[in-house]
Structure 1
Amino acid sequence: MSFPSDFETENTVENASLPVVESTLRGQGPDHPNVCCQGWTRFGFPLAGLLMVVAIGTAAYFAGRSHTAETKLSSMDLPLLHANAAVTSEKFSCATGTISEEADGLFVLDHNSGLLQCSVIYPRLGRFMGLFTVNVGEALGTGGKGGSFLLLTGRADFPRASNNPVATTVVYVMDTSTGNYASYYVPFNRQAMTAGRTQQGLITLISTGSANPVIDRDTLR
C-alpha cells in the first residue's frame, strides 16, 4: 500500500512544529548543580566562626574579672572571725568555744546532774585529748539537784602564765528557775597539745551573779 507524497511532508511539518519538553528541570541535573544551600555555604560558616570568636572573648573577659576580684580579696587584711554556737534541749545544753588557735572546745551540760564537761580535740591527732569538768550545782545553788539551764560561751583576754594556762573562752551557765548564773574558764595548756599530751582538769569558777537581784530600797533613798 502506498501513500501520497504530500502526506509524509505534512506529517513531518506537524512533528517539527510541536514543542520539545526538556527531560531535566532548570537548576538540576549534571549540568546545573543544586543551589539550595549555596547561600548557607557562603554566609553561614563565616557567621558561625564570628560567633565562636565572640563567645571565646566573652568567656576570657569574665574569667579575667573573676581572677582580679579573687586577687583583691586575698590581698585585703580581713579580720579573723570566731563563731560560737549553742543549743539547748530538755536534758542537755551544748555550746562551742575557742580554746586555742587550732581548736574549739565542746561544752556539754547535763541538766539532771549539773555536770559541765569541756572536750577538746587535737587536730593533729584527730582525737579528743583534753577533758575538763565541773559541777555547776554548787555555784548556782541548786543543791546538787537537776534544773533547767542555759549555756553560752564568750571571749576574754585573761592574763596567762606558764603555771596558769588559760583558754580565751568564758562559759556562762544560768539556772532559769532561779535566775542565778555563773561564769567559768578552762585551764587549757597549749604546750601540752603541741606535745600531744592528754589533759584533764577542773573548769575554774570566775564569778557568780543573779538576774533577779534583791533591791534594797534603803540604799536608793
Structure 2
Amino acid sequence: MKVDSTMRFWLASFGVGSVMTAFAILGMTVALNWQSPAIEIPVNAATAATRETMCAATGRVDEEMDGLFTLDALTGDLQCAVINSQTAKFAGLFRGNVMNDLGLDATKKPSYMLLTGNASFRATTGTSRPADCVVYVVDSTSGLFAAYGFNWNRNISARGAQQAGALVLLDKGTARNVMIRN
C-alpha cells in the first residue's frame, strides 16, 4: 500500500505541475496577443551645420519630403531645395535674401546660424499651402533674427513636377537688448 500512495502522490504532483505549466504558457500567449497594437510614432530628424561662409539645415516640408536649406554668408542668399520622394530628384527651389530682409551690412561680416522647426499653419484654400517647416536665421554679430516659410503645392509634388517660389519673411526680431560697439 505504501507504494501505491507514493505512486499516486507523484502522479498527482506531475499532473498538477503539468496543468500549472499549461496555464502559464496559455497566460503568456494570451497576454502577448492582448497587448496594445504597435503605435506608429512619426520620426523627424533635422540637422544643421555652420561654417564660416556657408550654413545648411534640413527640415520637413511635408509628410514625405525634406528640404535642404542653405545660406551663403557672403551674399545673404537663402534657399531651400526640396527632393521629391517619388523621383529622388530635386523638385523644388525657393529663395530669399537675409541681408536685404534684416538690413545687414556685408562689410560688418555677419556670422549666421541656421535652424529649422516644424510648423502647422492653419489650412488655407487652394492647392498651395504653407510648408510644414520654418527656417530661422540668426546673425550672432548683430543679434538680429528672422523666420522664413514658403508655399508648397502637394499636387505638383505628387506629379513629380518642378515648383519654385520665394522664401517669405514671416517675422523678424532681435536677440540683444543693448547695442554693442564694434
> Which interval holds the TM-score relative to the shorter structure?
0.7 to 0.9
1:150 to 94, 113, 130: 113
Say if 1:163 and 1:196 are closer, same or farther in 2 by CA, change over 3 A: closer
Q: Which has the higher contact order (CA 8 A, sep 6+)?
A: 2
Structure 1 residue 166 displacement after superposition: 0.8
1:89 aligned partner: 51
Structure 1 residue 79 displacement after superposition: 2.2
TM-score, normalised via structure 2 length: 0.73
2:167 aligned partner: 203
Greater radius of gyration (CA): 1
Unaligned runs of 5+ in 1: 1-67, 216-221
Say if 1:124 and 1:163 are closer, same or farther in 2 by CA, change over 3 A: closer
Supply the distance in 1 between the matched residues of 2:96 and 2:104 (Cα, whole angstroms).
14
Aligned pairs (5 A) from 1:130-145: 130-143=92-105
2:139 aligned with 1:175: yes
TM-score, normalised via structure 1 length: 0.61
Following TM superposition, where does structure 1 have runs of at least 4 consecutive aligned residues deviating by more than 6 angstroms? none
Supply the distance in 2 between the matched residues of 1:142 and 1:89 (Cα, whole angstroms).
19
1:128 to 77, 85, 90: 90
How many residues are aligned here? 149
Structure 1 residue 155 displacement after superposition: 1.2
Deviations 1:46-97 (A, max 9, x none): xxxxxxxxxxxxxxxxxxxxxx7xxx79x32142121210010111000000
Q: CA RMSD in A?
A: 2.5
Aligned pairs (5 A) from 1:1-221: 75-143=37-105, 147-159=110-122, 160-162=124-126, 164-213=128-177
Which amino acid in the other structure matches residue 138 of structure 1? N
Unaligned runs of 5+ in 2: 1-31
